[in-house]
Amino acid sequence: MKRLALLAAVLAAGAASLGAQGALGAEEIVRASRDRIQADTVSSRSRMMIVAKDGSATERLVDQYSLDAKEGKRTVIVFQKPASVAGTRFLTVSNPGRDDDRWIFLPSLAKVRRIAGSEGSGSFVGTDFSYDDISSSDREVEEDTHAILREEKLEGKDCWVIESRPKDPSFQYTRMVHWIEKGSCIALKAELYDKKGLLKLLEFSQFKEVQGRITPMATKLSNLQANTSTSIAVEILKYDEKIPAGVFTPRYLETGRPQ
């Protein structure tokens, strides 16, 4: 079994308690953090709240299904409500050693469209998440260089503060700074920077044990440059339940039915 992450926990996967920590390096800590949640499948239903610059808010109901397949991790996201986005479906398939494959079905176009790699920084269905953000839960540790900046408390919890810099200069973020709790290696917060400076702030809260796995049930991603935010509250979460393989195909995006 490998790690699987919820949309509500993008970048939040951490490691199971490591007990008394030795002198771990930055890369080891990040690897442990990303590999914390082990599962073959994950299914969830979440409520998403998108807050615009003028303060107006839009609520969405979202389902997510993930599978750790031999060929790579596969994730499908389905928008259920409101009517303006209902039926929108997104599929991402990770490919070890090369770019992910990503497709989206928009009911208004009535066809499946492949998302090009150059579109990675674009907004995911009008949220503050980008397409790259959705795929980042499966980002390989080796794609970045890591360094421990300092150790400090966050909300009373002892944390490592670790900076990760992408090796690929075309990646949308120039650096990422994570607050990872010692002992549990749970990621509590992340700052995402672009060439202009601090772009996004990702915060995790309401941690709950679900089937033996400590999972953040609330996530908030704030775009500090645009003054907008997207919050996600998980309502239903199930690990290791069988999901038909046909769900993780472009055909399912078009029909909404596993073949």
> Given pLDDT bands bounded at 50, 70 and 90, which one contains residue 9?
very low
Q: Give the rounded percent of residues in the chain with a pLDDT score beyond 90.
A: 72
Report the distance separating Cα 32 and Cα 132, nearest Å.
21
pLDDT, the chain, mean: 88
Rg (CA), the chain: 18
Q: What angle do CA 202, 211, 77 make, to 5 degrees?
A: 50
Q: Which domains does the chain have, with CATH numbers?
A: 2-16+25-255 (2.50.20.10)
* Amino acid 99: pLDDT: 78
Residue 238 pLDDT: 97
CA distances from 42 to 74, 96, 167 (A): 11, 20, 30
Tokens found for residue 100: 């992910």
Q: Where are the alpha helices (DSSP H) in 46-168?
A: 131-135
pLDDT tens by residue, 111-148? 999 998 889 899 999 999 999 888 776 678 999 999 99
Residue 194 has a pLDDT of 96
Structure tokens at 14: 């951490």
Q: Tell me, what's the pLDDT at 135?
A: 76
Q: How many Cβ atoms are within 10 Å of 117's Cβ, its own excluded?
A: 13
Alpha carbons 46 and 171: distance in angstroms, whole number: 28
Task: Give the pLDDT band (50/70/90) at residue 7.
Answer: low
Give the model's confidence band at 20: pLDDT under 50 very low, under 70 low, under 90 confident, else very high.
very low
Give the residue from 251, 256, 12, 3 showing the smallest Cα distance to 129: 12
With vertex at residue 11, the alpha carbon angle to CA 10 and CA 12, rounded to the nearest 5 degrees, is 90
Report CA-CA distances (Å) from 66 to 74, 134, 176, 185, 186: 6, 12, 25, 23, 21
CA–CA separation, 134 and 106 (whole Å): 17
